[in-house]
Structure 1
Amino acid sequence: MILKLVLYDNPILRKKGMPIDSFDDRLKRLVQDMLETMAYYKGVGLAAQQVGLNLQLAVIDVSGSKLSSSLLIGGKPAMVEEHMPLFLINPTLSYTQSKEISNEGCLSFPGLRIDVPRSKRVKVKTFDLEGRPWYFEAGGFLSVAIQHEFDHLQGKLFIDYLSAEQKKAIKEELEKIKRGEAILSVKETD
């Protein structure tokens, strides 16, 4: 089921998600609905806050991206595509000190793209749909997507990385989104 997207300035986007403590069929259904919603809106990541839910849950799928990603599981290289989609459930992150600038968009900010400083690599502890912990390290575009979605789970938005001057420069675009005048891109159906 396609869920309704929450757009900028909805207060839920500023809420830190509550931990998930029930790994049941409802969670699996929600994850499936979020994946369908993310694909429908042509996204690579979607946090629960973006569909109006205050949870520590995000879904990611970078398998269709041309941007380079890397994944280490147990310290060994793994094929990114084989581990997509990826679920972040009650995640914790460890960041590398080396940073790079990532040009990012966000489904809750249709049409807006901004440069955001991100760690080049990130170590992740999360849980699978059965509640089992698992650990991995990501680099490249996958690392960026994870950090972006993790920020959502903490109530932080990518515009929070902008200076006051930069925010002023995009004020009109933000106002259009608030007024519902921004256009969401959707997947074409047969």
Structure 2
Amino acid sequence: MILPIVLFGNPVLRQPGKPVRRFDADLRKFAEDMQETMVANQGVGLAAQQVGKPLLFAVIDVKRTKTSSTMIIRGKPVPVEEQMPLFLVNPVVSLTKSKEIGNEGCLSFPGLRIDVPRSRRVSVRAQDLQGKPLVFEASGFLAVVIQHEVDHLYGRLFIDYLKPAERKEIKEDLARIRQGLPALTKDTKE
């Protein structure tokens, strides 16, 4: 079932998620609905807050992108596409100090794209849908998506990385999104 996406302005986006304690059929159904919602909206990641549930849970699938990603499990590189979709339950992420600026969008901010500094590599400790430990490292686009979604899980949004002057530049876009309208693209701004 495709779930409605929560847009900027809804307080649930600022709510830190509660840990998932039950690894049951309800969680698997929710995971399936989130994946279907993400795909239907042409996303590569979706956090539970974005569908109105403040939980430490996200789904990621970068296999349809052409952007480079790497994943290491137990010290060995693995094909990223074989690990997708990736369901992260109760994730904890460690970041590297080395940062890179990349242009990001967000399903909760339709039409808005901004430059965000992200760590080049991440280490992730999470659980899978059965509650089993999931430990890996990621770099490239996958690392960016993981950071974006885990930020959501703790009530942080990609616009929080903007300096006050940059935030002022998108004030009109944020007002439009709060009203349920897409942001204006840079091409249409005068």
Q: TM-score range by the shorter chain?
A: over 0.9
Q: Percent of pairs identical after alignment?
A: 60
Q: Which residue matches 1:168?
A: 168
Q: Which residue matches 1:37?
A: 37
Query: How many residues matched?
Result: 183
**1:73-104 Cα distance to aligned partner (Å, 9 max, x none):** 00100000000000110000111111000110
Q: Which residue matches 2:131?
A: 131
- Tell me the TM-score normalised to structure 2 length: 0.95
Q: Which residue matches 1:140?
A: 140
Q: Which residue matches 1:114?
A: 114
Alignment partner of 2:38: what SS? helix
**Residues 18-97 of structure 1 aligned to structure 2 (within 5 Å):** 18-97=18-97
For structure 1, which runs of at least 5 residues remain unmatched after alignment?
184-190
For structure 2, which runs of at least 5 residues remain unmatched after alignment?
184-190
- Tell me the TM-score normalised to structure 1 length: 0.95
Q: Which residue matches 2:9?
A: 9
**1:6-37 Cα distance to aligned partner (Å, 9 max, x none):** 00010000000000000000000000000000
- Aligned partners of 1:147 and 1:102: how far apart in 2? 12
- Aligned partners of 2:165 and 2:55: how far apart in 1? 32
Q: Which runs of 4+ in 1 moved over 6 A?
A: none
**1:32-69 Cα distance to aligned partner (Å, 9 max, x none):** 00000000000000000000001000000000001100
Q: Which residue matches 1:101?
A: 101
